[in-house]
Amino acid sequence: MAAKLKSVIEKNAAFLTLEMEWLRQIIDLRLRLYFNENTSNKSITEILPPAINAEDGPYPAFIMANELSFPQRVLLALAIAPGIKPELLDAFFAKNITYDKKFSEFGGISSATANNFIPTVQTALFLLAGNNLQLRFQYHQLFDPDELLIKLGVIELKDAHNEHSFFNSLLHVQDDYIGPLITGTHKKPMYSESFPAKLLTTGLDWDDVVLATASREGVEEVLDWIRHGKDVLSLQGLQKRLKPGYKTLFYGPPGTGKTLTAALLGKATGNEVYRIDISLIVSRYVGETEKNLARVFDRAESKDWILFFDEADALFGKRTDVNSSNDRFANQEVAYLLQRIEDHNGMVILASNLKDNIDKAFLRRFQSLIYFPVPGADERYLLWKNAFSEGMQPAKEVELQLLAEKYALSGGSIVNVVRYCCLKAVKNNAIFITAKDIDDGIRRELQKEGKII
């Protein structure tokens, strides 16, 4: 495996060396043309890019698979250059001696840490079009939301020093694509304020989750859509009537399997599940909630991620009465979030303890609502039976069927009881879990719910 990765890196490095040399020649020619120097070439399009062979690495394979045009290829090379060949862009540091300052038409900013030149939209337009306004207007569409590199999320336009200007937006290759483009490996996004989501995984399987019949049928529908939704949308006449995304609400008491089911859906389909951190999404500053959530959706837009919002009523709860300007802005944010989720082309799962906590206007936009009730006696028996490990079983006098019938516990509560009992058993060097420890564990769980036995 290591040898294969080394070979991929070597091939990709060789190709990118040629691609960066191509970019250097384009930069050199653009500057010569701009300053009216004599050149054999009169247009940057005369400088042909390196020939492409998908076998030469992930970078040329990406160009080939997406059929990048000349300007798209220039844009991608320019955006990735600061990370792999920053000295190529030093030419843009040239000083306008007439005004004793940098050439504003070159755009770009200096990196605060490394003093590198970081290209902006203005830099790209200058490189592609020089001072030809007609060409500039033509290449402006490269940055439209529906344009390939922007739509896929390969290139992100980032605000530079709070300039709030489109032309001053930095060209940033998103972290998700650095690994695939450089080494051919996928780097999972890191949890942070700019990406408030964690990868949700599980070592369990479907046999480990016990659901009511209606719940299981609802989950199977979701699973079917993940696997076959694209085929449904490809049917003639349906694509214009159906939106590509799928939104479902998992609701029911805590510990009934909502989170585990979301993780299992990802495991069964090979799709990564990201659990959204509501505490980082929701901000007390007006407008910040919208921005925080938009970052997550922007990253997920071109991927088959499953977005999982736990305790969703904290974010998507009923809208407040308008008693102040903050209330009005809060309601506007909710409206924006509803629209953003409705327009999202992927799978979104929201989980809530109570369906009534979710805004009804939002509920109408779900494709399914799946109730996760406290399991019945038969389901509880299976949960008790599956909860114990081979290395630590209950004593013979423990009657699991009796426990299942007597105590209306959720699956999460049963797991907590077993954890408590195993800890006691290990501490006491016991071979089996005693009935007393199970009773004590159940008592602890019921006390959490304000119940006394």
Q: What is the pLDDT of residues 372-411, one digit of tens each?
A: 999 999 999 999 999 998 889 999 999 999 999 999 999 9
How many of the other CB atoms lie within 10 Å of CB of 203?
7
Percent of the chain clearing pLDDT 70 (strictly above): 89
Using CA atoms, how far apart are residues 94 and 34, in angstroms rounded to an integer?
A: 13
Using CA atoms, how far apart are residues 349 and 252, in angstroms rounded to an integer?
A: 14
Q: How confident is the model at residue 220 (pLDDT cuts 50, 70, 90)?
A: very high
The average pLDDT across 277-302 equals: 71
Give the pLDDT confidence score for residue 330 in this predicted structure.
52
Burial (CB < 10 A; 0-12, 13-18, 19+), residue 311, is middle
Average model confidence (pLDDT) across the chain: 86
Give the pLDDT confidence score for residue 189 in this predicted structure.
79
Q: Given a cut of 80, is residue 194 above it in pLDDT? A: no
CB 232 within 8 A of CB 241: no
pTM of the model: 0.72
Give the pLDDT confidence score for residue 183 in this predicted structure.
82
Give the pLDDT confidence score for residue 328 in this predicted structure.
43
Give the pLDDT confidence score for residue 146 in this predicted structure.
84
- Give, in degrees to the nearest 5, the angle at Cα 65 between 63 and 68: 40
Give the pLDDT confidence score for residue 101 in this predicted structure.
87
**Token pair of 274, please?**
């990201």
The 10s digit of each residue's pLDDT in 118-147 is 999 999 999 999 999 999 999 999 999 889
Most confident of 281-295, 304-318, 402-416: 402-416
Q: Given a cut of 80, is residue 3 above it in pLDDT? A: no
How many of the other CB atoms lie within 10 Å of CB of 8?
18
User: What ranges make up the beta strands (E) of 181-245?
Assistant: 197-200
Q: Given a cut of 80, is residue 370 above it in pLDDT? A: yes
**Token pair of 68, please?**
């990048």
The average pLDDT across 229-236 equals: 82
Q: Given a cut of 90, is residue 292 above it in pLDDT? A: no
Most confident of 6-15, 270-279, 321-330, 427-436: 427-436
The average pLDDT across 143-159 equals: 86
Tally the residues of the chain. Answer: 453
Residue type, 43: S
